[in-house]
């Protein structure tokens, strides 16, 4: 008998820990979502509704409508005005509704913002549109030297509390790892109303073109090495806060899922592998996970969750600073 892969995340009963992570190429087309469901996705996190993106798009299209308008008698405008009136939450909300209608797996909406504001009202609209949970994606690059880390943390907490006040839906918070004490942050977020954490947000880092001397965006998909950071922090956090933990970054194989479950993740979010290999990769990962469980006499995937967390692993210090020290000390360069 095949092992039971089911898990629970944010109160949602899922058929497996394999969740499609937020990425526009995977989720903005309903047909693509159907294919992912067909391939075994247990849930899908829709691509993010970006607060900044919406603002930028609105202003951008507004500017486009103004560009050259009312200047010259023959051409008082250059674009059909009615085509400009669709930039906002509506499009995303419709997408959520349609995804809910067409999919049988849970649909998690993703909301991306940086600061408190009216945009959090959108969370309620997401709920109305049928989202079964919200993943709140908080990310900014603070460059203001007068902005303290405490202020940033306060702001994050404030946004979570505001969204929590708006909706009853399960709420996961997706963050980057760059906090002075992530564990303390996790506690504050739990207190502010978060039900789960998604570790970690992965950022597109710019690159330098050394010929043209230009800074260019450079999209690098994650590799298995990238799962080490979430693995560590999931292991450190598991069992310490009333939060469901989701792992993202670097999940390529079934064994990657195993590792992350062992660290304490309820689910793993997969993006890069699907972008590289298409929706069918999900079926491969699921088969590998199932096979591993079977090979190791596990009847359920749930049994793995947290078994190698810091609280339950044989050597908790491995997850702390000593782990880094040992790594250096035991590193022997190859002979030339």
Partner 1 sequence: MSTLTIDGNEATARVSYRLNEVIALYPITPASPMGEWADAWRSEGRPNLWGTVPEIVELQSEAGAAGTVHGALQAGSLTTTFTASQGLLLMIPNLYKLAGELTPAVLHVAARSLAAQGLSIFGDHSDVMAVRGTGCAILCANNVQEAGDLAAIATRASLHSRLPFLHMFDGFRTSHEIQKVEAIEDEVLRQLIPEQAIAAHRQRALSPDHPVLRGTAQNPDVYFQARETVNRFYDAAPAVVAEAMDAFAALTGRAYAPYDYVGPADAERVLVLMGSGCETAVETAEALQANGEKVGVLKVRLYRPFSNARLIQALPASTRAIAVLDRCKEPGAGGEPLYLDVVAAVAEEWERQHGGGAPLPRVVGGRYGLSSKEFTPAMVKAVFDHLCGEDPLNHFTVGIHDDLTHRSLPWEDGFVTEAPGEVRAVFYGLGSDGTVGANKSTIKIIGESTDLHAQGYFVYDSKKSGSVTVSHLRFGPRPIRSTYLIQRPTLVACHQWDFLGRFDLLAGLETGGILLLNSPYPAAESWRRLPEAMRTTIRAKQLKVWIINASQVAMEAGMGFHINTVMQACFFAVSGVLPREEAIERIRTAIVKTYGRKGEAVVAMNLRALDASLDHLEELAYADLPIVLGEGGLELAASDERLAAAPAFVRDVIAPMLERRGDELPVSALPCDGTFPVGTSRWEKRNIAESIPVWEDDLCVQCGKCVMVCPHAVIRAKVVEPGALATAPEGFRRAPARDHDFEGQTFTIQVGAEDCTGCALCVEVCPARDRTEPKRKAINMAPQRPLREQARGHWDFFLSLPEAPCAALNLRKIGQQQLQQPLFEFSGACGGCGETPYLKLATQLFGDRMMIANATGCSSIYGGNLPTTPWTTNAEGRGPSWSNSLFEDNAEFGFGMRVAVDQQRQMAGELLSLLALPAKLVEAILGADQSDEAGIFAQRQRVAQLKTLLQEQDAASGSPAARLLSVADALVKRSVWLVGGDGWAYDIGFGGLDHVLASGRDVNALVLDTEVYSNTGGQASKATPRAAVAKFAAAGKAAPKKDLGLMAMTYGSVYVASVAMGARDEHTVRAFLEAESYPGPSLIIAYSHCIAHGITMARGMAHQQAAVDSGRWLLYRYDPRRAERGENPLQLDSRAPSRPLAETMAEENRFRMLRFSQPQLARQLERQAQQELDRRWGLYRALASQDCGPTATTTGATQP
CA dihedral 209, 213, 214, 217 (to 10 degrees): 20
- Pick 10 or 107: Cβ nearer partner 1: 107
Considering only residues 174 to 213 of the shown chain, the ones binding partner 1 according to CB under 8 A are: 212-213
- Please name the residue that has the structure tokens 């607060």: 51
- Rounded least distance, CB 281 to partner 1, Å: 21
Is residue 74 involved in binding partner 1 (CB under 8 A)? yes
Q: How far from each other are the two terminal CA atoms of the chain, in whole angstroms? A: 51
- Rounded least distance, CB 115 to partner 1, Å: 14
Is residue 28 involved in binding partner 1 (CB under 8 A)? yes
Q: Which residues contact 289 (CB under 8 A, 6 or more apart)?
A: 5, 16, 17, 18, 254, 257, 258, 301
- Pick 13 or 209: Cβ nearer partner 1: 209
- Pick 72 or 331: Cβ nearer partner 1: 72
Distance of CA 266 to the CA centre of its chain: 14
Scanning 23-31, 228-236, 263-271, 321-329 for contacts with partner 1 by CB under 8 A, the matching segment is: 23-31
Considering only residues 77 to 106 of the shown chain, the ones binding partner 1 according to CB under 8 A are: 77-88, 91, 95
Q: How many residues bind partner 1 (CB under 8 A)?
A: 44
Parallel/antiparallel/unpaired status of strands 214-217 and 206-209:
antiparallel
Contact 40, 283 (CB under 8 A): yes
Residues in the chain: 336
Is residue 62 involved in binding partner 1 (CB under 8 A)? yes
Candidates 2, 13, 38, 76; binder of partner 1 (CB under 8 A) is: 76
Burial of 67 (0-12, 13-18, 19+ CB in 10 A): exposed
Coil vs helix vs strand at 34: helix
Is residue 54 involved in binding partner 1 (CB under 8 A)? yes
What distances in angstroms separate CA 308 from CA 156, 208, 283, 301, 318, one per listed residue? 29, 40, 26, 14, 11
- Pick 212 or 330: Cβ nearer partner 1: 212
Q: What angle do CA 228, 7, 250 make, to 5 degrees?
A: 20
Is residue 75 involved in binding partner 1 (CB under 8 A)? yes
Candidates 2, 11, 13, 59; binder of partner 1 (CB under 8 A) is: 59
- Pick 88 or 239: Cβ nearer partner 1: 88
Is residue 58 involved in binding partner 1 (CB under 8 A)? yes
- Rounded least distance, CB 49 to partner 1, Å: 13
Candidates 4, 57, 158, 303; binder of partner 1 (CB under 8 A) is: 57
- Residues contributing to the site for partner 1 (CB under 8 A): 28-30, 54-88, 91, 95, 118, 212-214
């Amino acid at each position: 008998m095949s092992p039971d892969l089911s898990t629970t995340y944010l109160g949602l009963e899922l058929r497996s820990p394999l969740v499609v992570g937020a990425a526009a190429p995977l989720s903005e087309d309903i047909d693509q979502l159907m294919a992912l469901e067909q391939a075994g996705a247990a849930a899908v996190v829709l691509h993010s509704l970006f607060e900044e993106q919406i603002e930028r798009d609105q202003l951008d299209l507004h500017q486009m409508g103004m560009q050259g308008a009312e200047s010259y008698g023959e051409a008082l405008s250059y674009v059909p005005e009615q085509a400009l009136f669709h930039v906002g939450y509506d499009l995303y909300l419709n997408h959520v509704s349609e995804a809910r209608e067409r999919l049988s797996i849970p649909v998690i909406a993703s909301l991306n913002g940086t600061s408190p504001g009216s945009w959090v009202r959108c969370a309620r609209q997401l709920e109305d549109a049928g989202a079964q949970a919200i993943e709140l994606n908080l990310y900014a690059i603070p460059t203001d030297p007068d902005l303290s880390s405490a202020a940033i943390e306060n702001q994050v907490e404030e946004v979570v509390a505001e969204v929590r006040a708006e909706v009853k839906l399960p709420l996961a918070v997706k963050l980057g790892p760059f906090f002075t004490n992530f564990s303390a942050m996790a506690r504050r977020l739990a207190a502010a109303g978060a039900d789960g954490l998604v570790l970690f947000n992965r950022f597109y880092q710019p690159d330098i073109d050394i010929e043209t001397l230009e800074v260019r965006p450079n999209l690098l998909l994650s590799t298995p090495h990238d799962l080490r950071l979430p693995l560590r922090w999931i292991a450190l956090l598991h069992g310490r806060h009333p939060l469901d933990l989701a792992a993202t970054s670097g999940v390529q194989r079934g064994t990657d899922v195993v590792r992350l479950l062992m660290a304490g993740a309820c689910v793993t979010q997969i993006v890069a592998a699907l972008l590289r290999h298409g929706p069918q990769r999900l079926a491969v990962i699921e088969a590998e996970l199932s096979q591993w469980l079977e090979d190791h006499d596990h009847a359920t995937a749930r049994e793995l969750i947290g078994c190698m967390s810091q609280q339950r692993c044989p050597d908790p210090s491995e997850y702390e600073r000593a782990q880094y020290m040992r790594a250096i000390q035991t590193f022997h360069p190859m002979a030339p």
